Amino acid sequence: MQLELINLQREVGITFIFVTHAQDEALALSHRIAVLRAGHIEQVDEPAKLYGFPRSRFVADFIGHINMLDAQVLEAAHGHTRLAIPGLGEITAPPAPGLTADVKGAFAIRPEQVRIGLHSDVTELKNHFPGEVRNLLYSGDVTVYKVQLAGGQMLEALLPNSAPGRAEFFKVGDAVRIGWRHDAGVFLHE
């Protein structure tokens, strides 16, 4: 039905306004999305930009699943941002315009951007930390792992179930490492 609506809109050449609470449908069907909060527009953007670069905690949390960690800016350089995460330590994040040292906010990263593995699987990443699998949810094409880090933070990581004959790579209680690229995620001001 989604493809039919897209093709119909293309054929007729008119603007559609589609009102929904189903974020997946909004992302799939839209050229631009407006996220409303208490009757006010929080952010308007293309679906990929809205999903990948939310401008507020509300938008980040509203569109899809996301890991959010309290953070404080240590350094805002041209090519990167160094953040302090309570209980975790320092991480490197993408640069963000207008940031200065000591600004508080949150570091947000999507579960599909978080890699989970054994020690050697993630140590080449700039941001990597030990943790323990606390829960997992098999969804057919992916397994969602909830990993508790040493500082007590819980992060979700997605692992595609693409290996033949194998759907569960880690079990509850397994020691793992999680990590993400230095250019993944986004810092959100308070």
pLDDT of 166 reads 62
Using an 8 Å Cβ cutoff, are 56 and 63 in contact?
Answer: no
Q: What does the H/E/C string look like for the chain?
A: CHHHHHHHHHHHCCCCCCCCCCHHHHHHHCCCEEEEECCEEEEEECHHHHHHCCCCHHHHHHCCCCEEEEEEEEEECCCCEEEEECCCEEEEECCCCCCCCCCEEEEEECHHHCEEECHHHHCCCCEEEEEEEEEEEECCCEEEEEEEECCCCEEEEEEECCCCCCCCCCCCCCEEEEEECCCCCEEEEC
Domain count, the chain: 2
Residue at 104 is within a domain? no
Evaluate whether residue 85 is within a structural domain: no
Domain boundary among 26, 43, 64: 64
On whether residue 101 sits in a domain, the answer given is: no
- Residue 5 — very low, low, confident or very high, per pLDDT cuts 50/70/90? confident
> Same domain, yes or no, for 117 and 173?
yes
In a domain, 187, yes or no: no
How much is the pLDDT for 21? Answer: 81
Residue 18 lies in a domain: yes
CB 15 within 8 A of CB 3: no
pTM: 0.87
- Segment 124-168, tens digit of pLDDT: 899 999 999 999 998 888 999 999 998 899 999 999 887 776 666
pLDDT band at 121 (very low <50, low <70, confident <90, very high): confident
Cα–Cα distance between 136 and 171 in angstroms, integer?
8
Residue 79 lies in a domain: no
Assigned domain for 91 exists: no
CB 110 within 8 A of CB 157: no
Strand order in the sheet with 67-76: 89-93, 81-85, 67-76, 104-109, 186-189
- Tell me the residue range of the domain where 26 lies: 1-64
Cα distances (angstroms) measured from residue 137 to each of 21, 156, 158: 24, 10, 10
Q: Which residues pair with residue 34 across a beta bridge? A: 44
